[in-house]
């Protein structure tokens, strides 16, 4: 069955770095666009970034552009989010989400989320 497992979260000081991972299984990882979505404590969902199925195209929310980098390793069936120059406002649960391969670009499967806390 399709499974996405998020990991790598933790407590980090402002200005430091962290790398999140999303391990995929149960489907052809190299055929799907994958997204990162985050949710600050008690808040709504915020789209963060997307990477195309082949890794050639990446798009970011303005709030993270230049600080967060999405990447993927098809040999490991894993998605990454490199987070640099972290700020307090980056504190959130981070979810990876698979995009359905149809014209409606829906997120049909999500990871369980990993919590990032940016605090001194």
Partner 1 sequence: DIQMTQSPSSLSASVGDRVTISCRASQSISTFLNWYQQRPGKAPKLLIFAASSLQSGVPSRFSGSGSGTDFTLTISSLQPEDFATYFCQQSYSTPRTFGLGTKVEIK
Residues that bind partner 1 (CB under 8 A): 35, 37, 44-47, 50, 59, 61-62, 95, 100, 104-108, 110-113
- Beta-ladder partners of 38: 46, 94
Q: Which residue carries 């049909």 as its tokens?
A: 108
CB of 109 to partner 1, least distance (A): 8
CB of 107 to partner 1, least distance (A): 6
CB closer to partner 1 out of 17 and 25: 25
CB closer to partner 1 out of 37 and 79: 37
CB of 13 to partner 1, least distance (A): 26
CB closer to partner 1 out of 61 and 77: 61
Q: Hey, how many other C-beta atoms are within 10 angstroms of the C-beta on 31?
A: 9
């Amino acid at each position: 069955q399709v499974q996405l497992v998020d990991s790598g979260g933790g407590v980090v000081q402002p200005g430091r770095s962290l790398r999140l991972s999303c391990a995929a299984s149960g489907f052809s990882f190299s055929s799907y666009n994958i997204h990162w979505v985050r949710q600050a404590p008690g808040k709504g969902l915020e789209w963060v970034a997307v990477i195309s199925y082949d890794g050639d195209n990446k798009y970011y929310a303005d709030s993270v552009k230049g600080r967060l980098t999405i990447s993927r390793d098809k040999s490991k069936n894993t998605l990454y989010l490199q987070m640099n120059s972290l700020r307090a406002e980056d504190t959130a649960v981070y979810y990876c989400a698979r995009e359905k391969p149809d014209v409606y670009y829906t997120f049909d499967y999500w990871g369980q989320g990993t919590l990032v806390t940016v605090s001194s």
